[in-house]
Chains A and B, each alone.
Chain A
Amino acid sequence: MTHGPDVSPAGTAGIVTRTLAAIVDVVVVLVLMGTAFLAVAGVRFLVSPVGFSWPAPSWAQSLAAAGLLAVGYLTAAWATSGRTAGAAVLGLRVRSVGGARLGWFRAALRAALCVAFPPGLAWSAVGRRRRSVQDLLVGSVVVYDWVSPAGGGSGRAEAGHGPVTGVEEGEP
């Protein structure tokens, strides 16, 4: 179990925002699945144009492919920019509890946990620090990271990139 985040709970993304971001990411993975399906069909056509037939994967194969694609997509997004497409739309960013970017290993571990056990996200609604089961296991936190073009106020979200002082540690 990891230490508590150096961010305010109010700056940590809650269950609603994260669910919406997850829905967007599911759509992205479905698009990736369709693209991969067409790519496989194209390769088959190039290899054997005469005996071509559309691929007919089983449910297990489809699920395995979707899982691999999702893990790869989430890992690359979190390890590089810290945000997936869904997180970019909703203005979220995944960071380590210290405010640093997730490494490739932790990003891959978090992606595998998210794909293997999606209900773990629900703990972000129950826990006081709004962290999912995956966040607690990996030591990550999802924060608001967007700015509004109008009005006054602070720049970044209250839970910005750097650690925010005066935040309690420990489990939510």
Chain B
Amino acid sequence: MDPTTARLLLGAGSGAAELVWRAGAPVRAASAGLLRGGVAVLDRVSPGTVAALVRRGRRERVLLARWVDRLLREVVALVVDALLRTVDLTALVREHVALDEVAAGLDVDAVAARVDVDAIVARVDLDAAVRRVDLDAIVRRLDLDRAVERVDVEAVVRRVDLDSVAAGLDVDRVAARLDLDAVVRRLDLVGIAREVVDALDLPGIIRSSTGALTSDTVRTVRSEAMNADGVVAGAMDRLLRRGAPPPAPRPPVLP
């Protein structure tokens, strides 16, 4: 159907409807008069019946209004749902709404001033929120090496007043809290001693020192004592005139 034909049909329909509406005007007036007259007669004949009917009509009207309201709600919900399914609201807003102008008109300071941050924070259950946080997963995702590389440790140390920190330390209390027995129990003293002894090579030192003692001092003492024995024996032989003494013993040596 072309637009001209559609407009023609629309104009013809509109004219016919107006004609019918005007032609029925006398009928409407008569009907209204009859209705008012009937009501007046009935009110005069049986006012109780009229009052009862009025009450009933009021009640039915209320019920009807509720029913219509419910019906409209369901219809509106269905319509809106169908509309939202059909229409891309985001695209519609982007296309037809001047967001920049809207944003420019917003008084953000006034909005922020109206926000009661304390009340919001008071309503937040921080414990529950913290319990829901998976700290392990967060730590796994952290690249600590990169973070540490960016830290200027020297600058941090320069800002720290180590003297005041050390002056505030109660070394006696710290030492009193130390469980030295537990520390010593955890130490493998036997293993450490064994490692030290292995590193020192004590047997080697003892061997070398003993050998040096044997080869130097003791050998000298033995040789000198042996020579002294020979001298004493020779002197006694000469004193007792027993002839030539036996040959002096040679210091025995290793092969």
Contact = CB atoms under 8 A, between A and B. Distances in A.
A71 B226 CA distance: 26
Contacts of B191: none
Given A14-B229, A90-B221, A130-B233, A157 B252 contact: yes
Interface residue range, chain B: 20 to 34
A15 B250 contact: no
Interface stretch (A3-11, A27-35, A51-59): A3-11
A89 B230 CA distance: 19
A61 interface: no
- Binding site of B, secondary structure by majority: helix, strand, loop or mixed? helix
A128 B237 contact: yes
Residue among B221, B247, B249, B255 facing the most chain A CB atoms (10 A cut-off)? B249
A63 interface: no
A10 B228 CA distance: 12
B41 interface: no
Given A90-B221, A125-B232, 18 more contacts: A15-B232, A16-B229, A17-B225, A17-B226, A17-B229, A89-B221, A91-B222, A128-B237, A130-B233, A147-B253, A148-B253, A149-B211, A149-B253, A153-B250, A153-B253, A155-B253, A155-B254, A156-B252
Closest A-B pairs by Cβ, 4 of them: A14-B229, A148-B253, A16-B228, A17-B225
Interface of B: 211, 214-215, 218-219, 221-222, 225-226, 228-230, 232-233, 236-237, 240, 242, 246-255
25 contacts: A9-B233, A11-B249, A14-B230, A15-B232, A16-B228, A16-B229, A16-B232, A17-B226, A17-B229, A20-B225, A91-B218, A125-B232, A125-B236, A128-B242, A130-B233, A144-B249, A148-B252, A149-B215, A149-B219, A150-B215, A153-B251, A155-B253, A156-B252, A157-B249, A158-B250
